[in-house]
Amino acid sequence: MPSSWLLITNATVVDGAGNPPVAGASVLVQDRLIRDVGTHVTREMVPRGEQVTEIDATGKTLMPGMIDAHCHMTYGESRSEEEIDLYTSPVLRTLKAAFTAQKVLRSGVTGISQPGGSYYIGVGLREAIRDGIVQGPRMTAAGRYISTSNGLTDWYPDSVGVPEGSIGIVHNTLDLMINEVRHQVKNGVDLIKLADSPYGNFQAFTDHEMKVLADLAHQLGKKMTIHARGPAEVKAAARAGIDWIMHGNIMDDEAIDLLAETGTPLVPTLLLLSNAGDFGHLVGAPDPLREGMKRMLERTGDSMTRAHQAGVTFALGTDSGFSLTPYGVWHARELELLMDYAGLTSLEAIQAGTSNGAQMLGLAGEIGVVAPGMIADLIVVDGDPVADIRVLQRRECIETVIQDGAVVVFDEEKVARSWPHERGIGYSIGDLTYDVVYGQVDPADPANSAVADGVEVHDLDTSEEAQDLVSALTHRETGARVMD
């Protein structure tokens, strides 16, 4: 049977492995694999009589498709934890996830890892994409996060419990956690996600629990990642052999050295913090949440810069799926943030967004690099991302998406559409106090936390304690839950 050939000519090739770009190069793809790359590659390398599709990439960049190692396809662009957990049936959540997968792919993200989501929607979606039923990036998936009553996802009072639709499952004993790992593996997950303390102010799992669970996952041939924002849980996770770390916002030198020594990659997910802090005011995010996110981002920048200097490996992750991080829009912004906050060069950022994510797809050494023998998940970019990383954020600059060696054809009307989860019941963002209506409240004064015309949100008290990001983020009465 003849091969299917694809030839991209005269491109500037950015290989994703960190090598300097090569101008005037061509890439030849045979079926799903890259056959050859370089200035020597010509059409004559295709056997006589076989069909070849040609793309003229003069003035354009050819690079690997991006890999987002932290993308929640079941979150449905939710505005609150309640919308993530309670609203929208599992059936409709699944259909929406299938719909939005094409938006992610359209943005040049050809691979994602879902570190947790409701039900086993991620596993089903992965299969549907693999079988060509659904258009979307190739994917690996965890099931529900495994958490404790002191970690993420036990948001509600004990009288309510953890709803069936929650993205997490809460267990407070090792036996029950082991039981959950076994069930998740049976149900087809690629990785297990643990969720430690929400804001990194304490370690929620014991060292022993982490070690036993990581060993079990590995014994069963699966990977493990963890939501770890603070130094204690980062260190414990690296020692337990957890495969990569999500967040790592606040790390002491010991934590950083451990990541560097063990070669444990870090997926910071700066995007959610930055989008909330920089743009949240445009969509009514409460001021205390925005301020808390900003402070967290600044502290994170310090940890990230030191980690980069120590040689820690970074990968692209965005926490896409919230209303502040809608699908297919902001994934590439994380690369700009890795440059701004961790000090990566543009080539290093591209490497973080491509080859460094291959491991999270279970395809290390097989994807994320433009080189012979690699899987041909590629993008043609109208622009030079090495000179200006932001071109990757502009949909019109992502000219062509190639998946498994074939050019993907999109329904552009569909990929422009948004299909969020059913909305929770809200009445206002702030409280309509007597002062708001009749008092001496200046809406222009930031102290009054105006987030929309005439709407006041309770500000945090200005005590020393409130300056601390943890206390800011945990103030529940501000009317917003901070998100993973």
The H or E element containing residue 122 is helix 121-130
Stretch that binds Zn ion, among 155-163, 316-324, 344-352, 384-392 (CB under 5 A): 316-324
**Smallest gap, in angstroms, from Cβ of residue 228 to Zn ion?**
12
Whichever of 271 and 376 has its CB closer to Zn ion, that residue is: 271
Q: Which is nearer to Zn ion, 289 or 455 (CB)?
A: 289
- Both tokens of 351, joined, read 């490497």
d(CA 390, CA 340): 12
The residue whose Cβ lies closest to Zn ion is 484
Q: Which stretch binds Zn ion (CB under 5 A): 157-165, 315-323, 406-414, 445-453?
A: 315-323
Residue 111 main-chain phi, psi, to 5 deg: -150, 140
Q: Taking the complex as a whole, how short is the minimal distance between the CB of residue 52 and Zn ion, in angstroms?
A: 42
Measured at the CA of 105, the angle between CA 104 and CA 107, to 5 degrees, comes to 70
Nearer residue to Zn ion within complex by CB, 113 or 356: 113
Nearest CB to Zn ion, comparing residues 243 and 257 = 243
Quick check: 155 and 188 in contact, CB under 8 A? no
Q: What DSSP string describes 218-259? A: HHTT-EEEEEE-SHHHHHHHHHHT-SEEEE--S--HHHHHHH
Residue number with CB closer to Zn ion (77 or 484): 484
Of residues 337-366, those binding Zn ion (CB under 5 A): none
The torsion angle over the Cα atoms of residues 16, 18, 24 and 26, rounded to 10 degrees, is: -40
- List the one residue from 209, 319, 336, 348 that touches Zn ion (CB under 5 A): 319
Task: Select 286 or 317, whichever has its Cβ closest to Zn ion.
Answer: 317
Read off the tokens for 256.
Answer: 């950083």
Residues 413-452 within binding reach of Zn ion (CB under 5 A): none
Closest alpha carbon to 223 in 195, 191, 254: 191
| Residue with the two structure tokens 């909305």 | 423
Contact 127, 151 (CB under 8 A): no
484 binds Zn ion (CB under 5 A): yes
| Site pattern 149..188 for Zn ion (x: CB under 5 A) | ----------------------------------------
Q: Of the two residues 81 and 287, which places its CB atom closer to Zn ion in the complex? A: 81
Residue 220, judged by CB atoms within 10 A of its CB (0-12, 13-18, 19+), counts as middle
Minimum distance, C-beta of residue 379 to Zn ion, in the bound complex (Å): 24
Binding window for Zn ion (CB under 5 A); candidates: 16-24, 86-94, 249-257, 312-320: 312-320
At closest approach, how far in Å is the CB of 115 from Zn ion? 6
Rounded distance, CA 56 to CA 46, Å?
16
Total residues at interface with Zn ion (CB under 5 A): 2
Q: Which is nearer to Zn ion, 5 or 314 (CB)?
A: 314
> Considering the complex, what minimum distance in angstroms separates the CB of residue 317 from Zn ion?
8
The secondary element (H helix, E strand) that includes residue 24 is strand 22-30
Minimum Å gap between C-beta 273 and Zn ion is: 12
Min CB(388)–Zn ion separation in Å: 28
Candidates 22-30, 313-321, 350-358, 385-393: pick the segment binding Zn ion (CB under 5 A). 313-321
**Minimum CB separation from Zn ion for residue 214, in Å?**
19
Q: Residue 154 or residue 456: which is nearer to Zn ion going by CB?
A: 154
CB of 82 to Zn ion, least distance (A): 17
Cα 421 from Cα 76, distance rounded (Å): 5
Burial class (CB in 10 A: 0-12, 13-18, 19+), 32: middle
Q: How far apart are CA 412 and CA 397, in angstroms?
A: 14
The site for Zn ion (CB under 5 A) is made up of 319, 484
